[in-house]
Amino acid sequence: MDAKETIARRVAQELKEGYIVNLGIGLPTQVPRYLPKGLEITLQSENGFLGLAPLEGEPHPNVVNAGGKPCGLAPSAAIFDSAMSFALIRGGHVDITVLGGLQVDQRGNLANWMVPGKMVPGMGGAMDLVTGARKVIVAMEHCTKDGQPRLLRECALPLTAKGRVSMVVTELAVFGVSHGEFVLHELAAGVALDEVRKKTGATFVISPTLGEMKAVS
């Protein structure tokens, strides 16, 4: 199992019956593959959908997710304009948003839109999702491709939002954020605590209920 699958499988366990969930582009879009059988959730997309579903058959050119990828619609889906979509988000009607991240720091700050040295189209809906959703989960690999930690004492990249991250899921561990500290709740199978310490750019508190990462086998 690769790192992205491990992360997506674990995040899927946070989604509960009846939730309205927004999934960011990239890794978060893999989460629905690993939902428990029979679980009913509603996927929201900021470009104007409630009820996204896996693509079946030929793609329709006007039915795409927020990343521009073809997708399907559930039988009960609704389609609306951006004003309604962001009213849902800003009004606190999204239970969970799952976003990728470049950096998260111990105060729950998130940087996930500006890549140094690269052209970017802008922040998009991320700032609204992070401030409007009831729970914010960041799903990202623990380190960059060159081995630099993504969990830091303080983000060095431009922020998407301050103090809004609830949980961070990596291929190594699951962290919460509480009172300006990372709290280690779970370790992936076969991962030693020392390895997580070496690869994390901030100190963290160990939860008294520290256990093995859930449901990633």
- As annotated, the active-site residues are 46
DSSP 179: T
What are the residues whose beta carbons fall under 8 Å from the beta carbon of 120, sequence distance 6 or more? 113, 114
What are the residues whose beta carbons fall under 8 Å from the beta carbon of 68, sequence distance 6 or more? none
The amino acid that residue 39 corresponds to is L
Phi-psi region of 127 (alpha: psi -120 to 50; beta: other; left: phi over 0): alpha
195-208 burial, b for 16+ CB within 10 Å, e for fewer?
A: ebeebbbbebeeee
Question: What are the two backbone dihedrals, phi and then psi, of residue 182, each rounded to the nearest 5 degrees?
Answer: -75, 140
CA-wise closest residue to 14 among 176, 129, 164, 163: 176
Give the Å distances, CA to CA, from 80 to 24, 45, 86, 123, 207: 19, 10, 10, 21, 43
User: Which residues, in sequence order, are bridge partners of residue 191?
Assistant: none
DSSP 34: G
